[in-house]
Structure 1
């Protein structure tokens, strides 16, 4: 069905139908509802080109990914995009993914603004004093941040989880089980979530008067191999940690491998708590599940960020959100060994 045919069925002009479907405020609510209902009934879907012409928008959302030593194109980012893409497709938006060398990141944002290639962007992995925030405000590009910058005035709209509280609670849980020798396998601390997680970890230790050598707080790219190598080094010490916290379930697999190869048992000789991104390809399931975790859905985060940005583009009020992670008791924690 064409726009003209839909308009004829409704007894309205094609312009009115187009404006109703594209959210123009001058179309009253009753007419808009009638048009939307008819479009759904007759299976009318406006083409992307028609929507661009009708609205003057690109009908695209941008994601700029700087490629460097620590690449963001990984399974977790793919999970985020899977969630976001569901919302984009439902709302008629396309995705523009710009994977560029890190030194060209600023220029990539400027080019997107100059060419009007996107209506808005989602910013990933905010950093300390993140220069992208001021740049996007200067360019006038609407955006939502997945995460929170460590500091800065006039914060943008963001979606984040309470990283500090989760790691503080995880550490308190292990202390309650009698553990006093810890290791923290964190993500890169140039990114704000890792700084907050370390602070939660440190606050719990400070509260109980537990000191921790800096060697037992490691921040690296969250890979299985990095976690395996660091855990092997820790286990070779005279007084190895009896409890380890990781920032990713992928890292937790590396810890588990190192502990197993050392002839030890997770949950008995070494307790482990991980942040679990509830990945579709790596489920922590069972009764109880293998790992004790703080769970959050990265796919749901992608969908929520996409919805927040599209609402912002539609002129709707959008507020920042902080999610509390769910504590999942698994088999990877137990009382400290005697």
Structure 2
């Protein structure tokens, strides 16, 4: 069955059928699902090369992915990617991930832009000043940044409210009487870490408090570095009564360090971790700052990218979702004396 026959079978125009099959956002979801169901029922399969030549599109979205050791063990990252894949599959589109060494990441973007092998890009791990965003904003290839940056060129981005989430975490600890609070951070050239770090300081300032510099440790973004950071905090002369860990991968290591040291979590020391941890941690239900629905976040970024392709200005595609505190058993009332 060809496109014309499929359109006749449905009683709608070939243009509408084509747009539905190619994921154009101006086609209603009801019509799209009707077309996709009919295509499946009648065995319609478009010729990928002909479709690409006719539309000038590849129907492929790309992610340039620098290879870091723990990524594939990160359940949140995999949920976000899963949401992207599901959203694209519903439109008969594909997602490709191009693994590169971190040192050659920008070169990979330059090659993709030159070759035009994808219709758009999702750019993750945004930095405080991100040369990838600065480059892509001038190239005309649609992209959505997963995270914000200080780059001023208009561009689409999706993020969770890092400032609000950290403020919620600090206020939760303050409400339990904690005044000596530490922070374990990801590298501060990462925009999310810088925003969370700044918000941490502001929240303490608002309460008339200051953090002990010995209790502020950065450059932790995996289990080992989180473990070592917590060990260092525990070894200080006056350890804090509570610690916030700004990323869940380090949170696993920090929790393990507390358990190995025999610390009664929620009693001797309280802890809040940003992001859900899938690991079983000796039965503890960890108090977290949760970024809800990572799969829907992935789908949202795909929707934004398709809107860019359809001509929506990038400055109209800047989306900020709110994190929430999920109480657990790792925060307790501070001990007096």
Q: TM-score range by the shorter chain?
A: 0.7 to 0.9
Deviation at 1:148, TM superposition (A): 0.3
Deviates more, 1:109-118 or 1:224-233: 224-233
Matches of 1:252 and 1:95, distance apart in 2 = 30
Q: 1:107/1:29 Cα in 2 relative to 1: closer, same or farther (>3 Å)?
A: closer
Deviation at 1:33, TM superposition (A): 8.1
Deviates more, 1:214-223 or 1:1-10: 1-10
Q: 1:34/1:251 Cα in 2 relative to 1: closer, same or farther (>3 Å)?
A: closer
CA contact (8 A) 1:146 1:160 kept: yes
- Aligned to 2:84, the other structure's residue is in SS state helix
Matches of 2:109 and 2:335, distance apart in 1 = 53
Q: 1:180/1:41 Cα in 2 relative to 1: closer, same or farther (>3 Å)?
A: same
2:148 corresponds to which residue? Answer: 148
Check if 1:174 corresponds to 2:173. yes
Alignment of 1:70-81 (within 5 A): 74-75=73-74, 76-81=76-81
Matches of 1:182 and 1:16, distance apart in 2 = 58
Deviation at 1:160, TM superposition (A): 0.7
Instruction: Name which of 323, 326, 329 aligns with 2:324.
Output: 326
1:237 corresponds to which residue? Answer: 236
Matches of 1:273 and 1:195, distance apart in 2 = 18
Q: 1:35/1:213 Cα in 2 relative to 1: closer, same or farther (>3 Å)?
A: closer
Matches of 1:274 and 1:33, distance apart in 2 = 40
Check if 1:221 corresponds to 2:220. yes
Q: Give the structure-1-normalised TM-score.
A: 0.85
1:309 corresponds to which residue? Answer: 305
CA contact (8 A) 2:123 2:143 kept: yes
Matches of 1:125 and 1:13, distance apart in 2 = 42
CA contact (8 A) 1:294 1:326 kept: yes
Q: 1:11/1:86 Cα in 2 relative to 1: closer, same or farther (>3 Å)?
A: closer
Q: 1:50/1:39 Cα in 2 relative to 1: closer, same or farther (>3 Å)?
A: farther
Check if 1:92 corresponds to 2:92. yes
Deviates more, 1:10-19 or 1:263-272: 10-19
- Aligned to 2:262, the other structure's residue is in SS state coil
Deviates more, 1:115-124 or 1:14-23: 14-23
Alignment of 1:95-244 (within 5 A): 95-149=95-149, 151-244=150-243
- Aligned to 1:58, the other structure's residue is in SS state coil
Check if 1:292 corresponds to 2:291. no
Deviation at 1:90, TM superposition (A): 1.1
Deviation at 1:144, TM superposition (A): 0.5
Deviation at 1:282, TM superposition (A): 4.8
CA contact (8 A) 1:19 1:54 kept: no
The RMSD of aligned alpha carbons is 3.1
Alignment size in residue pairs:
328
Q: 1:146/1:283 Cα in 2 relative to 1: closer, same or farther (>3 Å)?
A: farther
Q: 1:84/1:179 Cα in 2 relative to 1: closer, same or farther (>3 Å)?
A: same
Matches of 1:216 and 1:200, distance apart in 2 = 16
Matches of 2:201 and 2:268, distance apart in 1 = 23
Q: 1:5/1:206 Cα in 2 relative to 1: closer, same or farther (>3 Å)?
A: same
Matches of 1:100 and 1:193, distance apart in 2 = 22
Q: For structure 2, list consecutive stretches of 5 or more residues without a partner in the other structure.
A: none
Matches of 2:77 and 2:307, distance apart in 1 = 22
Deviation at 1:301, TM superposition (A): 1.9
- Aligned to 2:298, the other structure's residue is in SS state helix
1:262 corresponds to which residue? Answer: 261
- Aligned to 2:86, the other structure's residue is in SS state helix
Deviation at 1:21, TM superposition (A): 4.6
Deviation at 1:184, TM superposition (A): 0.5
Matches of 1:16 and 1:264, distance apart in 2 = 63
